[in-house]
Amino acid sequence: MEATLDSLALGFSVAFRPDVLFYAFLGCLVGTLVGVLPGIGPLAGISILLPVTFGLDATKAIVMLAGIYYGSQYGGSTTSILMRIPGEASSVMTCIDGYAMAKRGRAGAALTIAAVGSFVAGTMGVILLTVVAPPIAKFALAFGPPEYTALLVLGLLFLAYMSSTGLPRTLLMAAVGLLLGCIGIDVMTGHFRYSFDIKELGDGIGIVPVAVGLFGLGEILSTPSKTVTEKVVPPRLVELLPTATEWRQSVLPIARGSVLGFLVGIVPGSAHIIASFLSYAVEKRVSRTPEEFGKGAVAGVAGPESANNSASTGAFVPMLALGLPTGPVTAVLMAALLIHGVPPGPMLVNEHPQVFWGFIASMYVGNLMLLALNLPLVGVFVTVLRIPYGYLYPLIIMFCIIGVYEVNHSIVDVWIMLIMGVVGYLLRKFDFDPAPLVLGLVIAPIFELSLRQSLIMSNGNWLIFLERPIAQALLCICVLLLGLSALSLLLKRRDWRAKLAQAEAGEDPSGG
């Protein structure tokens, strides 16, 4: 514990440097805007701004990009409460009771509860991250190629199991991502794969054009401007302070949401979305007045908002400790670290303590900044919301083009982004979730390398994955997940994932 506190002190000495503070603030500000604006999520925001960080050192880059991620969870609540439009997918549940509170003239209180809940949960999440990540990283030092192969398979299966679109569809997307990740020179043999004499494809397909295309452009193509309403229920800023009863009603949901969110965040999948959904369900279940849900229940805002913030912090545990991205956002953050020559994983704590602890300490500071930023500036964010979407999306397309081009100064990347935008649009039409595709693309090189190394190590014996205890345990969990999915498919049960899909589609799963 003493060693952890010493390391944290080192982290704070990095995080309190004026330049690092500036980039943390910038990340939080951009993240809040990204969360506020419909049609642009944290993934597109991070991807577009990734090239801007090339001139920075790894610490400042990751501090800023992570600020965008957790900042967007804060910002997403603003549109949910004031417009009933989730600025970010994880704010879907906040729409239900947040907007109902706004209609009753309690918009200010709902925004404050969401911001305070997000702050408490974010800080609790960072405390848990501080405690949990280093021991996991130490444990992961025992991992060899077979363990990593099993871990990556488990990650993909977990993602598929947790997905609201179903296991076959999610695995299909992951397979497409893995295939895209195979494009380019094979690092072990030097063979060109699927590059069709296009020299730019020799280095493979970059994650940024794919992510920006699928999530930035794809989202714009699926959002015709006439469907975006600019009708806002304006908050009365004098009524920002919740009443004593509202505070009392929000304490336990915030605490429960924080713990639940962190635990869900560690598991691969769209953690922040699932966490807010589960938190809503838990709050409704434990409430003495469940009939209030859907009509402006304080717990319906406090719980989900806390859970999605805590989950976004929890998602950093596998990324930092194991080098395993659990979702597309952490995948892009991992790519950012790799670009800066800092490979995330068990060695990160020892080899780059300033980056690791500086990043963690910056999140404590970032959460404070977000609290200070979100409440007084709510009026500014409401003004941003009034920018007609017909002007907003052309700007987003411009940022997409700049962001993608600046990564490699390659126009081929921009074409890939455009193609991926169309693919993302079509995938949405056919009810495919593009997130596993990005994850597949990111893990393809790690997965291929560890799989081939394992086979070479064992002289071609597949049993190596079953002979090593950690790999064996991980694969047992994989079999269990497949069994559970098959069971659910056979019984045609309408479980929580079906309800999640309903909520993501914008319907009220509470029936309210």
Binding site residues, another protein, CB under 8 A: 51-52, 55, 168-169, 171-172, 175-176, 178-179, 182, 186, 188-189, 191, 193-194, 217, 220-225, 227, 390-391, 393-395, 397-399, 401-402, 405-406, 409, 411, 414-415, 418, 421-422, 425, 429-432, 444, 447-448, 451-452, 455-456, 459-462
3-state secondary structure 286-315: HCCCHHHCCCCCCHHHHHHHHHHHHHHHHC
Nearer to another protein, 224 or 483 (CB): 224
Smallest gap from Cβ 404 to another protein, in A, equals 10
Nearer to another protein, 238 or 463 (CB): 463
What distance in Å separates the CA atoms of residue 4 and residue 280, rounded to the nearest whole number? 34
Smallest gap from Cβ 84 to another protein, in A, equals 20
Smallest gap from Cβ 148 to another protein, in A, equals 14
Retrieve residue 400's tokens: 């997409």
DSSP 348-376: HHHH-HHHHHHHHHHHHHHHHHHHHHHTT
Smallest gap from Cβ 468 to another protein, in A, equals 17
Smallest gap from Cβ 34 to another protein, in A, equals 17
Nearer to another protein, 74 or 447 (CB): 447
Nearer to another protein, 105 or 168 (CB): 168
Smallest gap from Cβ 196 to another protein, in A, equals 8
Tally of CB atoms within 10 A around 94: 32
What distance in Å separates the CA atoms of residue 165 and residue 161, rounded to the nearest whole number? 9
Nearer to another protein, 11 or 218 (CB): 218
Reduce the DSSP state of residue 144 to 3 states and report it.
Answer: coil
Q: How many residues does the chain have?
A: 512
Identify the H or E element spanning 192.
strand 192-193
Smallest gap from Cβ 246 to another protein, in A, equals 39
Q: What are phi and psi of 193, to 5 degrees?
A: -120, 125
What distance in Å separates the CA atoms of residue 137 and residue 116, rounded to the nearest whole number? 31
What distance in Å separates the CA atoms of residue 505 and residue 46, rounded to the nearest whole number? 24
CA proximity to 286, closest of 311, 258, 256? 256
Nearer to another protein, 52 or 338 (CB): 52
Query: Given CA atoms 12, 15, 21, 27 in this order, what sign does their dihedral have?
Result: negative
Smallest gap from Cβ 321 to another protein, in A, equals 26
Nearer to another protein, 448 or 504 (CB): 448
Smallest gap from Cβ 336 to another protein, in A, equals 16
Nearer to another protein, 141 or 188 (CB): 188
Question: What CA–CA distances, in Å, run from 465 to 235, 241, 272, 468, 478?
Answer: 57, 57, 32, 6, 12
The H helix count followed by the E strand count for the chain is: 24, 2
Q: What are phi and psi of 192, to 5 degrees?
A: -85, 130
Query: Given CA atoms 22, 27, 28, 29 in this order, what sign does their dihedral have?
Result: positive
Given a contact cutoff of 8 angstroms between Cβ atoms, the answer to whether 98 and 299 are in contact is: no
Tally of CB atoms within 10 A around 292: 18
What distance in Å separates the CA atoms of residue 510 and residue 500, rounded to the nearest whole number? 11
Nearer to another protein, 287 or 488 (CB): 488
Nearer to another protein, 105 or 394 (CB): 394
φ/ψ region of 182 (left if φ > 0, alpha if ψ in -120 to 50, else beta) reads alpha
Smallest gap from Cβ 180 to another protein, in A, equals 10
Assign 3-state DSSP to the chain and report helix, strand, coil percentages, each to 5: 75, 0, 25
Nearer to another protein, 132 or 449 (CB): 449
Nearer to another protein, 379 or 390 (CB): 390
Residues with Cβ within 8 Å of residue 38, at least 6 apart in sequence: 79, 85, 86, 87, 223, 228, 389
Smallest gap from Cβ 405 to another protein, in A, equals 7
Smallest gap from Cβ 172 to another protein, in A, equals 5
Nearer to another protein, 175 or 372 (CB): 175
Smallest gap from Cβ 462 to another protein, in A, equals 7
